[in-house]
Amino acid sequence: MPHPGELPDAWGGITIEIEQVRWGHVARKRTWLYLVGVSSVPKDPPPRVPTHWISGTRNLKRKNASRRARGVAPLHIKMASAEQRRRTPVAFAQWLIALATTAARSR
């Protein structure tokens, strides 16, 4: 699977990265989508600021790890619960269905 922004693979597939916060998720929740045979990608909703953090910790005492590697959450933002992390916004599910309808059917 190609990384987002790389050239298509042998099957013409590309990978895009989206942030589910645009569709109403409480956190950024970055998601990669591998697309093959899709004629057009529906427009993303406008950017939104997340209210929650999905991964990482507030513990600054972990040794041998950079701030980025620890995934330290900003102090002004809440940590998302396991239930919140699992959820997929209805608007995102509808967007995925619209995306799937543009895919060519293989024979």
pLDDT digits (tens, 9 = 90+) for 62-71: 555 455 445 6
Between residues 25 and 58, which one has the greater pLDDT? 25
* pTM across the whole model: 0.74
Q: Do 71 and 28 contact (CB within 8 A), yes or no?
A: no
Domain ranges across the chain = 14-100
Burial (CB < 10 A; 0-12, 13-18, 19+), residue 95, is: buried
